[in-house]
Structure 1
Amino acid sequence: MATPPSALNSDDLACFVCVASTQSISRAALELGADQSTISRQIARLEAALDARLFHRSGRGVVLTEAGQTLLGYARQVAATLAEAREAIRASSAKGPAQLVIAAQPTIANTAFAAIGTALKLRFPATKVRFVEGLASPLLAWLAAGEIDVALLYLPEQQGALKVDILLEEDLTLVTPTSWSHLGPTFPVRRLAEVPLILPSTGHGLRVLAETLAARNGASLQLAMECDASNTVSMRLVEDGCGATLLPFAAVADRVAQGRLHSARLIEPVVTRQVALATARNRPPVPELWDIMQTVRQSVRNTVMSGAWPGARLV
């Protein structure tokens, strides 16, 4: 049974072109950063694969045989085609994906989307960027279904289906009407059950966190009302004296500065929430995902360092 011919490979062909151009094994070795024995082995492998001698060897160097002259034209075509393919792939990758969908929870979206959008359009001008806002549960479902590519969200307790990159952490604050300013700049967690709260319905991350904090102190929450609408609606309810709520300071900083709300940092212990950049483990990544993630991370970092994300600390 005949032995099948060895396959040609592009590295050996590139080595052959270099030897043919320099007419010397030693000079080709210098140009390619290899030793002479390696170059000789590659040429020998190529000759075996083609079953033909490619060079006449002498003490003054090497000269192409007729077979070598025939191969040289084809080898140069292969090298040119590979270079063209590499350039085409680089050019395609540099453009990024045709469309990118980024979602975030409301407070994060309000603080970060503008800067992220600007950074992504500079880096990937041909990409159509779409921003989506939603609560944690829908964001996780959208990621799993492939309806969004990347999410910025408060780190969920269960992360099995996610790949997460933690960006920052924020202290949670008790947000009250300005008439409650006697509470001061801080508020002990053990007293949380004394305050009528406006919170999302059961199952939302913030509600679960609040109930956990109360339970650790052997108490139950005093619920003034449930609000599954936006943070803006919750803050308006607080302004109107319907109760207090829990939010990161970034969500209320403007209204506190305007004298419309009072904010007290939760202490004993300090309660923090981590903001993470998340993608789905079970979905194929969009093109240039690593570069996209770095662009988003740097944009968030710049926002925090500039003071435009009040109350946030980089991790």
Structure 2
Amino acid sequence: MNVTQLRYFLQVAELGSVTRAAEVLHIAQPALSRQMRSLEEDLDATLLHRSERGITLTEAGECLRASAIELLRHFDRVRSEVRDRSGDPSGDLTIALPPSMSEMLAFPVIQRFRTSFPNVLLRVFEGSSGVLDAWSMVARGKADLAVVGSGEPLASLDAYPFIEEPMCVLGPPGSGLALDKPLTLEDLVDRPMVITSRPNVGRMFVESAMAERNLRLNIALEVNTRQLVLRAVESGLGFAALPLCSGIELLERGAISMAPIEGVVISWLLIKGREQGLSAAGQRMQLMLRQVAHEQISTGRWPLARLKGFIPPEDGRPPPPST
């Protein structure tokens, strides 16, 4: 068993086909089949169940897949750490970010990181809670770092306080909403709401707060993406309840208005795996996320948000001050 065989095996497992995996890996199908048979013989176990419908993993194959992902990530991390001692960070880095932070945090960080560390292959996953479970991505080794809404931390993960901001009501420009005029939960009851489909962390925060007061949202429209919610609000189809950062770009353009919901705050956490340390690239990303967030908050572009806690960088530089 070797690293190459494990990479080949994971590709076959992901695609469910030796033929498609061979095309992706740019090797001949017979050669890939021989590698899979050699791996099974070496482990004395049947890893792949072959049928007319394609390839599925046996119980032994599922066991190997879970271990192989972690082994390869550890191998890549060691290789990157050795290389990085003689130059800039390199290797792969995967992060998962909520779509609500797309304009305020995700793109500025991506742009700065790519400029600063061009030798790192950066992978960014973005999706609502119903599409992307960032907690499990990090726990399963599919991502090195993630920003998530506060929740019950998993035992295998380290979770650090990152940003705290209010949930807000978003409405058309002429609806009288303003950042300096908070609304109560009671103010939401009679407003037609455009809501992101469950499960969604922002919706959970608002509905939980309203349930504590025996209140219910007046849901007029339910959609599955933040982009559709914002478009519906901009078009005057209703109001939305989203994290403040979700609508900043439209607010700056005057396309919507926005008001914080009194007492309803979302806390964002930065999470990483507990067992495996971050690569040099991961450490730089960890620091850069905080630096960009600090800049956006301190310049007033991310109003009403607060930077929470700090993560000491490896190079000993002090963290940005909290606001």
TM-score bin, normalised by smaller chain? 0.5 to 0.7
Contact 1:198 1:224 in 2 (8 A): yes
Q: Hey, what does 1:11 align to over in structure 2?
A: none
1:161 Cα deviation after fit:
4.2
Of 148, 162, 166, the match for 1:167: 162
Aligned to 1:275: 268
Q: 1:182, 1:312 → 2: CA distance?
A: 18
The 1:163–1:271 alpha-carbon spacing in structure 2 relative to 1, beyond 3 Å, is same
* Cα 1:91–1:140 shift into 2, 3 Å: closer
- Percentage identity across aligned positions? 22
- 1:287 paired to 2:279: yes
Q: Secondary structure at the match of 1:194?
A: coil
Aligned to 2:210: 214
Contact preservation (8 Å) 1:116, 1:300:
no
> How far, CA to CA, are the matches of 2:113 and 2:177 in structure 1?
44
- Stretches of structure 1 that go unaligned for 5 or more consecutive residues are 1-87
1:204 to 200, 206, 214: 200
1:115 and 2:96 are equivalent in the alignment: no
**Displacement of 1:123:** 5.0
So what's the TM-score if we normalise by structure 2?
0.61
Distance of 1:264 and 1:149 partners within structure 2: 34
Q: Match for residue 314 of structure 1?
A: 307
Following superposition of structure 1 onto structure 2, how do residues 143-154 of structure 1 map, counting pairs within 5 Å? 143-154=138-149
In structure 2, what is the Cα distance between the partners aligned to 1:93 and 1:199? 50
Deviations 1:162-195 (A, max 9, x none): 3112222111111122343279932112332222
Q: In structure 2, which of residues 119, 127, 130 is the aligned counterpart of residue 126 of structure 1?
A: 119
Richer in helix (by share): 1
Q: Tell me the equivalent position of 1:238.
A: 233
Asked if structure 1 preserves the Cα contact closer than 8 Å seen for 2:135 and 2:148, the reply is no
**Does the 8 A contact of 1:250 with 1:311 survive in 2?**
no
Tell me which residue corresponds to 1:12: none
Q: TM-score, normalised by structure 1?
A: 0.62
Alpha-carbon distance in structure 1 between the residues aligned to 2:184 and 2:127: 30
Gaps of 5+ in 2: 1-80, 309-323
SS of aligned partner of 1:190: helix
- Equivalent pairs counted in the alignment come to 224
* Pairwise CA distance, 1:254: 3.1
- Once superposed, what is the RMSD of the aligned Cα atoms? 2.7
Is the 1:197–1:225 contact (alpha carbons within 8 Å) kept by the matching residues of 2? yes
